[in-house]
Amino acid sequence: MQCTSFLRSLEIASVRGVRPPVEVVPIAWFPTMPSIQIRDALERDVSALTELSRFVHDIHAEAHPAYFKPFEPRAIAEQFRTRLLRQDTRIRIASLGELPVGYVVVLLRDRPEDARCFARRSCEIEEIAVAASHRRHGVARALIEDVHREARSLGIGGVELASWSFNATAHAAFQALGFAPMLVRFRHQS
């Protein structure tokens, strides 16, 4: 209702020859956002993956400097190269046009049955990152939906991920994307 009455007041003002208080721009003048493309990451993507990972790494290193090393691009790039070769790991990269804007690292695991638990295959998001300039534009959702499709195609019923307790922003995003807490891990400083 408010939007309709605001637009109506602009229409009345323009009929009376009064300049509206805001500039009205037809939607057709806005450029369209290219669709998010997701594909397997390749060796040529290592530098983009490394740079996209910097923000996530830095917030973890700041929160837990005794656990996380300072960001070292060469070491991170080498870790991505190693992951690309692993059979149990998938790295998917999201792009808008030619611009890489996010990625996800997924681990596929087979756990044998034991005395306490049934055998199970799992699909775990080990890492996900979206460029700051493209957050809240559906990139994380598209990456996670892509992981769900992969899991279903492999006969895996769900996707899991873990997040450090300090990262309330990530927790809210994951819950908004349909994830629910499953396990709480505690630590006692000796």
Non-local CB neighbours of 168 within 8 Å, separated by 6+ positions: none
pLDDT digits over 144-184, tens only? 999 999 999 999 989 999 999 999 999 999 999 999 999 98
Q: Which residues in the chain come in under a pLDDT of 70?
A: 1-34
pLDDT of residue 189: 85
Over the chain, what is the mean pLDDT? Answer: 86
pTM over 0.75: yes
**Residues 77 and 71: beta-carbon distance below 8 Å:** no
C-beta separation of 87 from 125 below 8 A: no
* Residue 59: C-alpha distances to residues 6, 55, 76 (Å): 42, 6, 15
C-alpha atoms less than 13 angstroms from C-alpha of 152 in its C-beta half-sphere: 6
- Domains of the chain (ranges plus CATH)? 33-176 (3.40.630.30)
